[in-house]
């Protein structure tokens, strides 16, 4: 008797004009192995995701993701690390640069690389069970999948130092206070609310959303004068479109 095919590492469900990508390594608390990262990259190139107007990333009730798969760390020589960032490790930056609005729907553990994935999303919605943290320094490394950079830009260098150097876990209520999550919701309603937020974002004009996201990213890296020019040029270009909700 042939054994059934294993469940995919990333589940994909369509909800109207939105799509949900669900991390699916429950036995490992959705630890982000190179295999899971590659599965996410592959999912982002599927026709369903390419056509979606909004994307929701989620995990299980117990864990959005407990972090990177540390069993792979001993194999990471400098050459392999460089190759990793060119390969599956590019997933976090790909998520951050998607033209569609992205929502992280977080329950349970959201630690290390899991937190970095959530930070790569545009909006974060958290269940009241969620716990956040970046424990990498205690392992002798540092957040290196964009989490350090994005956290500094989100909360400033002083708070980023505290969060990263102490490596302590903090609850969803604290993440909300710091502005890292948009809202904290009872577990039973969390995904439904995330889908509601995605459904609204999906109604916004796609080109305006994509260009606004890109302009915000550029503003974080530019002088005030350059940022003003970027937004004015983007406005001029968008004004030549019909601006209709496509």
Beta bridge partners of 23: 10
Annotated catalytic residue: which of 72, 136, 196, 231? 136
CA–CA distance, 113 with 95 (Å, rounded to integer):
13
Residues 6+ apart with CB under 8 A from 199: 15, 16, 17, 18, 54
| Closest to 70 in 3D by CA, of 114, 128, 22, 117 | 114
Based on the residue annotation, tell me whether 116 is a catalytic residue of this protein: yes
Residues 6+ apart with CB under 8 A from 51: none
Instruction: Count other C-beta atoms under 10 Å from residue 166's C-beta.
Output: 14
Annotated catalytic residue: which of 116, 168, 183, 231? 116
Based on the residue annotation, tell me whether 136 is a catalytic residue of this protein: yes
Beta bridge partners of 185: 127
Dihedral sign, Cα of residue 20, residue 21, residue 25, residue 31: negative
CA–CA distance, 153 with 136 (Å, rounded to integer):
19
Instruction: Count other C-beta atoms under 10 Å from residue 176's C-beta.
Output: 16
Task: Phi first, then psi: give them for residue 153, nearest 5 degrees.
Answer: -75, -25
CA–CA distance, 121 with 2 (Å, rounded to integer):
40
Which sequence positions are flagged as catalytic? 116, 136
């Amino acid at each position: 008797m042939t054994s059934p095919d294993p469940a995919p590492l990333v589940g994909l469900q369509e909800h109207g004009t939105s799509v949900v990508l669900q991390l699916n390594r429950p036995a490992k608390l959705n630890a982000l192995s190179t295999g899971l990262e590659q599965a996410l990259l592959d999912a982002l190139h599927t026709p369903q995701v390419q056509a979606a107007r909004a994307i929701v990333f989620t995990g299980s009730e117990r864990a959005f993701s407990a972090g990177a798969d540390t069993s792979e760390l001993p194999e990471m020589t400098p050459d392999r690390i460089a190759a990793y960032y060119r390969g599956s490790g590019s997933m976090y930056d790909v998520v951050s640069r998607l033209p569609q609005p992205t929502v992280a729907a977080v329950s349970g553990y959201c630690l290390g690389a899991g937190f970095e994935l959530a930070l790569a999303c545009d909006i974060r919605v958290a269940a009241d069970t969620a716990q956040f943290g970046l424990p990498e320094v205690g392992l002798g490394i540092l957040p290196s999948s964009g989490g350090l950079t994005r956290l500094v830009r989100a909360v400033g260098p002083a708070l980023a130092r505290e969060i990263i150097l102490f490596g302590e876990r903090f609850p969803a209520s604290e993440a909300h206070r710091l502005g890292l999550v948009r809202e904290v919701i009872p577990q039973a309603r969390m995904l439904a609310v995330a889908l509601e937020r995605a459904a609204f974002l999906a109604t916004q004009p796609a080109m305006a959303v994509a260009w606004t996201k890109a302009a915000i990213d550029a503003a974080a890296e530019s002088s005030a004068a350059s940022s003003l020019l970027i937004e004015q040029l983007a406005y001029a270009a968008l004004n030549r479109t019909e601006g209709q909700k496509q």
